Amino acid sequence: MSGYPDVRLRRLRRTEAIRRLVAETALSPSDLVCPLFVTHGRGVKSEIESMPGVYQYSVDVLPREANEIAKLGIKAVILFGIPQEKDDVGSGAYDPDGVVQQAIRAIKESTPDLAVITDVCLCEYTDHGHCGVVADGEVENDRTLELLARTALSHAAAGADIVAPSAMMDGQVMAIRGALDGSSFAHIPILAYAAKYASAFYGPFRDAAGSAPQFGDRRSYQMDPANVVEALREVEQDIAEGADMVMVKPALAYLDVIRRVRDGFDRPLAAYNVSGEYSMVKAAAARGWIDERRSVMEILTAIKRAGADIIITYHAREAAAWLGGEGG
Ligand code: PBG
């Protein structure tokens, strides 16, 4: 009984009911995190050209959006801010009344059960577009840490449930953990963008957030796509510094990295299905070249199969609706 004709693997693929019974990976709306871009103004819902179906919202319309998202069975959103003004030290990132801080308060007031995750970085807030402070054309690691800690603290003070540092500065998790613990926020978890690669797939996001670097690129702080052993070191460091959860980003070209992290570490693992990955699907689907629903489900299932517990994705709302909402 070790091979054909005794073994017939097709037996378990004969009907949809049997296929579902033996499925090894199941997606649920509660696996998904929905990114939201927040901008100034009132009554704003403006579509991002390179990301059809994704919008920048003003704070006043967020409660309605948050409500819809929660109704779909999604448990968390991650916020990105587009400030009115930028400067060389990213002041908008840690302004107690900045656009993200206002957004946190609005969502926690209207939809308290929805977890609010915040992206802790300076790139949307600096006029040069880099993730930290710049001196002599270099992004300065240690001076940036204090600003990231201030940013995380301001998010926690506004009511954020989870902070997610994404600047790829060494020591950022330790700096943020220390700041939170020193200010009565010891209960706030850190989701570390641990293995974040210098990726071309962030292109549409930089449109959406107006955060493209004005000179150079991010390769002196984000990881080289050629490396995976180094990703494990990043994860190890972030956990040692106090990360409660870790992330691999992007997702699709890095499924092997997700698998290696899953096998090597016992922390909840998130994967970020990034903007370029979303836009490629949307563009091909709009031309009728691929079936959008099947492609999205296949992609999200594959990310989960690779080992992710949590998937941050711009497809979150549509996917959750396809999965049947609450309890789906
Ligand atoms: C940095 C940040 C970026 C993304 C999430 N956080 C941009 C970057 O590093 O250039 C990219 C997300 C995406 O492409 O969907 N604040």
Three-class HEC string of 191-215: EEEEEEECCHHHHHHHHHHCCCCCC
Does the pLDDT at position 327 exceed 50? no
Residue 7 lies in a domain: no
Asked whether 37 lines ligand 1 (CB < 6 A), one says no
CATH number at residue 138: 3.20.20.70
Which tokens go with 232?
Answer: 């494990």
Contact 126, 86 (CB under 8 A): yes
Mutate which of 202, 221, 277 for ligand 1? The one with the most ligand atoms within 8 Å of its CB, which is 202
pLDDT > 70: what percent of the chain? 99
Residue carrying structure tokens 């929905």: 34
Instruction: Return d(Cα 43, Cα 266) in angstroms, integer.
Output: 43
- Label residue 210 by pLDDT band (50, 70, 90): confident
pLDDT of residue 326: 44
Any domain includes 8: no
How many angstroms separate the CA atoms of 214 and 285, rounded? 32
When the pLDDT of each residue in the chain is averaged and rounded to a whole number, the result is: 97
Q: Which domain range does residue 282 map to?
A: 26-325
Residue with the nearest Cα to atom 5 of ligand 1?
166
Residue with tokens 């040069």: 128
Instruction: Give catalytic residues, as residue numbers.
Output: 196, 249
Nearest CA to 59 out of 106, 112, 119, 111 is that of 106
Residue nearest to atom 14 of ligand 1 (CA): 202
pLDDT, average across residues 11-22:
98
Name the helix (H) or strand (E) containing 167: none
For residue range 49-106, list pLDDT tens digits in order: 999 999 999 999 999 999 999 999 999 999 999 999 999 999 999 999 999 999 999 9
In a domain, 19, yes or no: no
Q: Is residue 11 part of a domain?
A: no
Residue 255 has pLDDT above 90, yes or no: yes
Condensed to tens digits (0 to 9), the pLDDT of residues 140-181 reads: 999 999 999 999 999 999 999 999 999 999 999 999 999 999
Does some domain include residue 16?
no
User: In terms of C-beta density within 10 A (0-12 exposed, 13-18 middle, 19 or more buried), how is residue 10 classed?
Assistant: exposed
CA-CA distance, 264 to 241, in Å (whole number)? Answer: 17
Distance CA 97, CA 182 (A): 21
Residue 216 has pLDDT above 60, yes or no: yes
Indicate whether 9 belongs to any domain. Answer: no
pLDDT tens string 106-142: 999 999 999 999 999 999 999 999 999 999 999 999 9
pLDDT bin (cut points 50, 70, 90) of residue 1 is confident
**DSSP H/E element including 317:** helix 316-322
Is residue 17 situated within a structural domain?
A: no
* The total number of structural domains that make up the chain: 1
For residue 325, the model assigns a pLDDT of: 53
CA 263 to chain centre: 21
Contact criterion met (CB below 8 Å) for 131 and 221? yes
Of ligand 1's atoms, which has the minimum distance to the CA of residue 35? 15
